[in-house]
Structures are given as C-alpha cells and as structure tokens.
Amino acid sequence: MTDQKQKNSSREAFTQFLIERGLRKTPERFAIADKVLGMKDHFYVESLRESMERDGYRVSRATLYNTIQLLIEAGFVRRHQFDGQPAQYERVSPKEVTNHHHLVCRKCGKVKEVKDAELIKALSLKRYRTFQPEFFTLYVYGTCSTCQRKLKKSNG
C-alpha cells in the first residue's frame, strides 16, 4: 500500500470511528488527523501545533489534546513519556503489531527506534490468564554512542 493510499484508508477508518461513537465530524478533527497521519517521526503536542500553524491552520490546545486522545482510542496514535519530558506521540497503523522498540539514552534523553522482527513476534504471542493485551512498548535504557564518546573523553 502506498503512503497516500494508507492515509486515505486511515482517514476513512477515523470517520467510521467518529460515527460509531456518535461524535461530530468537525474540520478541526480532520485537519489534525490528516496532519498526524502524515507524521513520520514521533511528535509533541507543541510541534504538531506549530507544524499546523505553518500550514496556516490554527487549532487550540484544548482541541489538539482532545483529538489526539480520540486518535489514541481509535488506535492510530500511541503515547510515550520519558523521564521529565513532555509526552511524545507516535503514529501507528491500526491493528498493526508493534514493529519496533525504543532505545532511550539515560544521559541525553535521545530516543532511537530499532526493529527486531523475531523479538517482536515472540512478545506479541504472549498471553495472560485474565489480562487482555492490545499492544506493548519495550524501552531499553542505556547510553547512546554519542554520550559514550563524551564520557570516555572526560574520563581521560
């Protein structure tokens, strides 16, 4: 599926979601959804807001938070929060299994994605007695290459 086709089908799925929930199909909601569906990387609420403003579209924070919450419930977006940083959001295809995990540097806070199909598969097959799993997130904490280099330098 091309990016464009996937985006269109996501837009339709979001419309469906709004209908099922009996929510209104407002232009703000679609503008935000479109922007988010076009995001490649993780984003912050503020960066999303600025990005939309650059496109000449102003939305209030209230509506942004509200709509992101809907996108999470619809399964298009996941929320991450590392240490004291503001929340980061990540666009995902609905029903899609997690296909990567995150390396988080404890020194500088940088987050990197790594793919590991085998590991992911093993994790997604896990079942629990009474808990119904939907998806998972794996964070590996440690030191990134840049900070390792810095440490070596300062330690002699």
Q: Contact positions toward DNA, by CB under 7 A?
A: 23-29, 44-46, 58-63, 65-67, 69, 81, 84, 86-87
By a kind-dependent CB cut-off of 5 to 8 A, residue 132 interacts, out of DNA, a copy of itself, none, with a copy of itself
Nearer to DNA by C-beta: 25 or 149?
Answer: 25
SS3 at position 99? coil
- Token pair 């793919």 is found at 115
Query: Tokens 């938070």 identify what position?
Result: 65
CB 104 within 8 A of CB 138: no
Q: Which is nearer to DNA, 81 or 124 (CB)?
A: 81
Q: Does 154 bind a copy of itself (CB under 8 A)?
A: no
Please state, in angstroms and rounded to a whole number, the distance separating the CA atoms of residues 4 and 14.
15
Q: Residue 85 phi/psi, 5° resolution?
A: -65, 155
Q: C-beta of 75: minimal distance to DNA in Å?
A: 18
Binding-site size, a copy of itself (CB under 8 A): 31
CA angle, 123 then 42 then 112, to 5° = 60
Task: Kindly state the smallest distance separating residue 107's Cβ from DNA, in Å.
Answer: 15
Site for a copy of itself in 86-145 (CB under 8 A): 103, 105-106, 112, 114, 116, 119, 122-123, 126, 128, 130-145
Give the list of residues 6+ apart from residue 136 with CB closer than 8 angstroms, or none: 98, 123, 124
The pair of structure tokens assigned to 19 is 């209908």
**Residue 83 CB, nearest distance to DNA (Å)?**
8
Rule CB under 8 A: which residues touch a copy of itself?
79, 81, 83, 103, 105-106, 112, 114, 116, 119, 122-123, 126, 128, 130-145, 148
